[in-house]
Amino acid sequence: MDEENSPLVKAEPGDDFDQQSDETESCIKDMLQEMQSKERGKRPQAATIAPATAVLEQSTPQEHDENSFYNVHSDKPQSLKMCTGELDIVLEPKLAGPVYNAANLSLDRALLNRADMWHQVIVHHGNGCTRQKILEALFGSYSYCDFFPVAYRRHANADFFLLRMCSQVLLKMFEEGLQLKAGSMALPISVRLGAARFHTGQIFPRQTITKAVQERCDNAAQYGDIAVLNLDSFAEHASLRELCVYLGNRAQFEVVCSAIAQAMDGNACISRLRLANNDISHMSLLAALKNTKLISLDLRGNRIKHPSSLRLLKDIPLVELYVEGNNLTDVPDYEKIIRSFFPNLLKLDSNLTQTVTTKAVRDDAEEEEEVEITSPGTVITEADLNPGAFQKYNITPHWHKVTVHHNGVCNKQDILDGLFHLLGKHAFYPCYYKTYSKQDEFLVQNCFDALLFLVKQKLKLPIPAHNTVLKLALAMNVAEASDADVQPLRKLERFVNKRFKLGCLDLCSMQDELNECKVVDFCAKSPSTLAYVLEFAARKYGNSCLVLRLRNNGLRNCAALESLSKFYKLVSLDLRYNALSKISDLQGVPWNNITELFLDNNPLCGTMRSSVEYVRKVRQYFGMLQQLDGRTLLGNFTYCQNYLCTPEAYKFAESFVKHYFALFDSFQRGDLQELYHPKAQFSMTCDFDIEQSGQQLDAQLDRQASYAQHSRNLLQFKDSLDRAVSKLIVGNERIGYVLTSFPKTEFDFYSFRIDVPVFTPERVMITVHGRMHEDEVSALGHVSYIGFTRTWYLQPCGMGTNLFHDAIEYKIHNDMLHMYSMTQEGNDAFGRRNEATPVAENGMDTSMQCDDNDRENAMIVFKELTQLNRAWCKRCLEESSWNLKVALNIFLKLYESKRIPKIAFKDDIP
C-alpha cells in the first residue's frame, strides 16, 4: 500500500486530513476494545490485570476442563465464568455448609430454603457415564419439580451444577438417599448447601428462558418465516448455554408457554408455533395459548404418549397439527381421536382431513377436561404391599394411576372384565383409560376400598379369558382433582334420568349405552354400579316408579337390588334374559310390593322339577306375587320344564320338537309326512264338550268338531271295536293328509313340558305337554287355548343330512295325540317371547305405538292410575292405540260422564 494513501499516515498540523485521522483512530480503538471484550467473554478472567496484548497471548486453562479431576473437598474459591454474559458465580467452600452424601443425610432445612444462596450438586460418575445420560436421568427423576440446573461443569470424575429456589428437588434427592439411577447404574450424589451467594446480575433461569423465546419471536424471519415462532430444539439456543433446558420438565415448559403467549400477544404477525424436538409431554400447559390466534402447531419429535392428552388443547382453533415422531402415533385410530378434538383441522401431519361437524353439547353432558398428571406420585411396589401402611391414602381426594402390564397378551376389554369381576363389590370406575403396546394405564379417584383390595391381592390381576395373571402398579396422588374432571357418579345419574319415562324405569341392556360414555368405563353387571343406579333412582323416583326393567344385563345375583324396598309403588319387575343360575341368586331382594315378576330365560328356570316348586320358591322372595312370567299364579299355571332320562337326550329332543312344531305352524305342514315311517301309525283322542242341545254350534265348537271326527277314544267305542280300529291312521301319506286338514295353529313353546323316558340307539320316546291356539279364531278376537299331550315313538332308519345333520336319521313309527279344553289364563299370558324384546328408545314420544313390552308397562301404569281391572284397562288402551296419554283422557271423560260401571273397578277374576 502506498504510504501517502494509507489512512494511518500522520498528517501535518493544520492539514484538512487531521480531523479524518482522529476519527479513524477513534474507530480503531473502539474496535479493539470490542474485540477484547468479546475475548474476555470467551476466556476466564486473569487473576491480575494485564495489558490487552498479554491477555491475547496468555493461554489460561478452562476451570471446567473435561479432562481435569474435581476435588470435592477442596476449600479453594472457584469463579464460574458465565459464557452468556451474566455475572460470575464464585464458589466459596469455606463459607458453605458441610458436604452431604449418602452417609450424612441430616440436612439444614433453613439453609436449603434460602433464596440468596446457590446450592451445589455433584454427581460422581468416575468417567463411566456421559453428561447426556446424567441429564436424562436427572430430568426423568424430577420432571414435575422446579428444576433449573445452572453452570453445569464436566470433569473426569464428577459433574456438578448449581441450583437456586429448587428445594423440592433437593429434598427428593435426600429422600432417595443421594443416589441417582441412570439406567442400570446408581450414581452417588454429594450436595453442598450455600456454596455461593446470589447477586443481582447473575443468571436468573426463568428470565433467561423468557428472553430466549422473545428473541426467537423478534427475529422470526431469520429462523425461517415471519409468521412462525420457531422453537425447534429450543435447548440449543445460544443464550441458554449456561442453563440446562429440558422442556419435558413441567416447570421449564410452563415458563416457555407463558413466554410464548406473551410474545404472540405483542407480535401480530405470529400465527404458527413450532415446538418440535423438545421432549415435551405436558400438554395442559399449552392451554395458555387458547386465547391467541394460533392456527398451526408443530409438535413433532416429542414425547406425547397418547392422543387423548391433546384434548386439553381443544379450545385452540387449530387448522394444522403435526405430531409425527411421538408415541401417540402407535395408538390405533389416533388420527380419528385427534380430529374429534379439533373440528376445524384441515391438515394432520402430511394428510389433508375433512372438517368434522361438531354436535351440540347438552347442558347435562358437558365434555370433561383431560386430567394432566402433575406428579410422579408415590409408587406402590411389591415391597410396599402393607394394607396397614396403605390406609394413609383413605381420605385423599387426588387421582391415582393404575398401570396394567400385559405385554400385548390382553386387550382393554379383557382387562376391564378381569378388574370388574375381581372388584365387583367395590366402587371402581376407571377413567381416562389409555392403551399401549406393552401396558395400559388409567386413573381412579375415590376408590380406596378397591385399591386396598388390590394391595391385599399383591397387585395381581387374574384374567380368566386368557388363563393368565397380570401385574399391576399403583402410583398414588399423581394429580389433584378439580370440578372440571370427569364425575362418574354424575354420569350414572344422568343415565338414570334418561331411562325413566311414564312410571317405567327401563334399565334394559345398560352396557350398550354406558359404553358410549367418554372418559370413564362402566360395567353394568357390577354390583356396586347397579346398586348406585338403583339407590339414586329410589331417591328420585321411588314414589312414582311402577315398572322396573332389568333385562339383558348379565346379572348373576340380586345382591345389588337392596334398594327395591325404597321403590314404594313398584308393582312389576322384569329380570328376563340375565344369568341367574339358581334360586338362591335371588337372595338380596328385600321385602317388596311387587305383584308381577318376569324370570324366564334365566338358567334357574331349568333347575325346577315342577311348576309348583318354581312358584313356591319364587314366592319366598316376592310374597305379594300374583303373576309370574306373564301368567297368573292362581288357577291352571303351567311352566316350561324338561324331564329327561339322560342329559344326552336334551339336544335331540329340543331339535326334534322345535323342528316338528315349526313345520306344523308353517305353510309347509305337508312336509311332516317325510318325518313318518311309511308304515307309521297315528291316533288321536280329544276331550271337548260339544254337546249343546238346542243351540247352534259356535265357530270354536265347530272347529273342535273337526278334530273329534278323527278321535278314537276307546271308551266311546267299547261296543264297536271295529270302528275304533278304523280310526287308526296308518301310513305316512294318510298321516300327512290328516295333519294338513287340521286348522292353522300357533303353539306356545313356553308352555311345553318335555319328557324323554326312553333314549337308546335303537329307540326314542318323546312326550310333550303344552298348549296352542288357532289363528282363525284369534283373528276374530276370541282367543281360547287347547291343551295337548303328544307322544312319539322313533326308530333309526339310516344316515341323514337334514334335521340331524350328519347323524343317524330317525323316523316316527308311532304318534299319539290327545287334545283337551283349557281354562283361559289371560290373553297377555300367551308367549311371543322367543326372541329378546328390543329396548324402547330413550325419549320416545308418547304418540308412538308401543311394542309388546311397552304395552305391558302401559297396562300396569294405567291400571295403577285408574284402578280399573285388567279387562277395562285393555279396552281403553286398545281404543287409544296404546297411547297412554290418550287413554287417560278417555278414562277421565268416561269417568266424569259416569259411563264407567262399578264392575269395571272390581279386581280381575282369575
The answer to whether the CB of 279 falls within 8 A of the CB of 245 is no
Last residue of a domain, one of 197, 232, 258: 197
Residue 433 lies in a domain: yes
Three-class SS of residue 482?
coil
Could you count the other beta carbons within 10 Å of the beta carbon of residue 377?
Answer: 18
Q: Say yes or no: 190 and 210 in one domain.
A: no
Amino acid found at 765: M
- In angstroms, the CA 557 to CA 561 distance is 9
| pLDDT recorded at residue 107 | 86
755-764 pLDDT, tens digit per residue, is: 888 888 889 9
Which of 250-254, 760-764, 831-835 is least confident?
A: 831-835
Please determine, for residue 841, whether its predicted confidence score (pLDDT) is greater than 50. Answer: no
CA distance to 839, 849, 851, 892, per residue, from 885 (Å): 21, 12, 16, 11
Burial (Cβ within 10 Å: 0-12, 13-18, ≥19) of residue 561: buried
Kindly state the average pLDDT of the residues 490-505.
Answer: 92
- Kindly indicate the confidence band of residue 7, based on its pLDDT and cuts at 50, 70 and 90: very low
Q: Say yes or no: 729 and 878 in one domain.
A: no
Query: CATH number for the domain including 882?
Result: 1.10.8.10
Q: Say yes or no: 192 and 244 in one domain.
A: no
Last residue of a domain, one of 445, 461, 480: 480
More confident residue, 471 or 605: 471
Q: Say yes or no: 763 and 792 in one domain.
A: yes
Please determine, for residue 852, whether its predicted confidence score (pLDDT) is greater than 50. Answer: yes
| φ, ψ for residue 90, nearest 5 deg | -105, 115
Could you count the other beta carbons within 10 Å of the beta carbon of residue 257?
Answer: 21
Give the helix/strand (H/E) hosting 412.
helix 412-422
Q: Say yes or no: 343 and 210 in one domain.
A: yes
| pLDDT recorded at residue 13 | 41
- In angstroms, the CA 833 to CA 837 distance is 7
Please determine, for residue 409, whether its predicted confidence score (pLDDT) is greater than 60. Answer: yes
More confident residue, 798 or 676: 676
| pLDDT recorded at residue 699 | 59
* The overall pTM is greater than 0.75: no
| pLDDT recorded at residue 552 | 92
In the sheet where 228-230 sits, what is the strand order?
Answer: 228-230, 272-274, 296-298, 320-322, 347-348, 351-352
Q: Which of 506, 636, 642 is nearest to 574 (CA)?
A: 506
| φ, ψ for residue 600, nearest 5 deg | -65, 160
CA distance to 416, 515, 519, per residue, from 422 (Å): 10, 20, 22
Query: CATH number for the domain including 269?
Result: 3.80.10.10
Residue 38 lies in a domain: no
| pLDDT recorded at residue 78 | 92
Most confident residue range from 95-109, 226-240, 616-630: 226-240
Please determine, for residue 270, whether its predicted confidence score (pLDDT) is greater than 80. Answer: yes
Please determine, for residue 366, whether its predicted confidence score (pLDDT) is greater than 70. Answer: no
Q: Say yes or no: 274 and 138 in one domain.
A: no
| pLDDT recorded at residue 184 | 86
Kindly state the average pLDDT of the residues 305-330.
Answer: 90
- Kindly indicate the confidence band of residue 831, based on its pLDDT and cuts at 50, 70 and 90: very low
More confident residue, 598 or 696: 598
Per the structure, how many domains does the chain have?
6
Strand partners, 683: 816
| pLDDT recorded at residue 844 | 35
To the nearest whole number, what is the mean pLDDT of the chain?
81
Kindly state the average pLDDT of the residues 257-277.
Answer: 92
Three-class SS of residue 4?
helix
Burial (Cβ within 10 Å: 0-12, 13-18, ≥19) of residue 897: exposed
Q: Say yes or no: 475 and 507 in one domain.
A: no
Please determine, for residue 48, whether its predicted confidence score (pLDDT) is greater than 50. Answer: no
| pLDDT recorded at residue 160 | 95
| pLDDT recorded at residue 714 | 66
Q: Say yes or no: 248 and 345 in one domain.
A: yes
Identify the residue whose cell numbers are 501517502.
Answer: 4
376-386 pLDDT, tens digit per residue, is: 888 887 667 77
277-295 pLDDT, tens digit per residue, is: 999 988 888 988 988 889 9
Tell me the three-class secondary structure of 561-618, residue by residue: CHHHHHCCCCCEEECCCCCCCCHHHHCCCCCCCCCEEECCCCHHHHHCCCHHHHHHHH
| pLDDT recorded at residue 681 | 94
Q: What percent of the chain has pLDDT over 70?
A: 80
Q: Say yes or no: 191 and 218 in one domain.
A: no
Q: Say yes or no: 407 and 550 in one domain.
A: no
| pLDDT recorded at residue 804 | 43
Three-class SS of residue 368?
coil
Q: Which residues of 565-574 are buried (b: 16+ CB within 10 A; e: fewer)?
A: ebbeebbbbb
- In angstroms, the CA 858 to CA 550 distance is 17
The answer to whether the CB of 592 falls within 8 A of the CB of 570 is yes
Q: Tell me the angle at which helices 884-896 and 852-866 cross, rounded to the nearest 10 degrees.
A: 30
Contact partners, residue 132, CB within 8 Å, separation at least 6: none
Q: Say yes or no: 862 and 888 in one domain.
A: yes
Burial (Cβ within 10 Å: 0-12, 13-18, ≥19) of residue 820: middle
Query: CATH number for the domain including 451?
Result: 3.30.70.330
| pLDDT recorded at residue 717 | 64
| pLDDT recorded at residue 607 | 84
More confident residue, 825 or 90: 90
Contact partners, residue 247, CB within 8 Å, separation at least 6: 234, 235, 253, 256, 275, 278, 279, 280
**Dihedral (C-alpha) 94, 95, 97, 101: value to the nearest 10 degrees?**
-40
State the residue range of the domain holding 221.
205-352
- What's the N-to-C CA distance of the chain in angstroms? 132
Residue 117 lies in a domain: yes
| pLDDT recorded at residue 843 | 38
Please determine, for residue 520, whether its predicted confidence score (pLDDT) is greater than 90. Answer: yes
| pLDDT recorded at residue 207 | 94
Which of 4-18, 111-125, 699-713 is least confident?
A: 4-18
413-447 pLDDT, tens digit per residue, is: 999 999 999 998 899 999 999 888 889 999 999 99
Residue 457 lies in a domain: yes
| pLDDT recorded at residue 214 | 94
Please determine, for residue 732, whether its predicted confidence score (pLDDT) is greater than 50. Answer: yes
Kindly state the average pLDDT of the residues 537-551.
Answer: 93
Which of 20-24, 226-230, 463-467, 668-672 is least confident?
A: 20-24
Q: What is the DSSP annotation of 508-573?
A: TTHHHHHTT-SSB---TT-HHHHHHHHHHHHHHHTTT--EEE--SS-----TT-GGGGG-TT--EE
Q: Which residues of 880-894 are buried (b: 16+ CB within 10 A; e: fewer)?
A: bebbbebbbebbeee
| pLDDT recorded at residue 360 | 39
Kindly state the average pLDDT of the residues 866-885.
Answer: 80
DSSP annotation of 796 = E
Residue 507 grid coordinates: 334399565
Q: What percent of the chain has pLDDT over 90?
A: 41
560-602 pLDDT, tens digit per residue, is: 999 999 999 899 999 999 999 999 999 889 988 899 999 988 9
Contact partners, residue 525, CB within 8 Å, separation at least 6: 420, 424, 511, 553, 554, 555, 556
- In angstroms, the CA 374 to CA 797 distance is 77
Distance of CA 626 to the CA centre of its chain: 40
Query: CATH number for the domain including 716?
Result: 3.10.450.50
Last residue of a domain, one of 480, 507, 522: 480
Residue 66 lies in a domain: no
DSSP annotation of 851 = -
- Kindly indicate the confidence band of residue 803, based on its pLDDT and cuts at 50, 70 and 90: very low
Q: Say yes or no: 314 and 461 in one domain.
A: no
- In angstroms, the CA 34 to CA 860 distance is 98
Residue 109 lies in a domain: yes
More confident residue, 590 or 703: 590
Residue 177 lies in a domain: yes
Q: Which of 377, 593, 581 is nearest to 479 (CA)?
A: 377
Residue 72 lies in a domain: no
| pLDDT recorded at residue 823 | 57
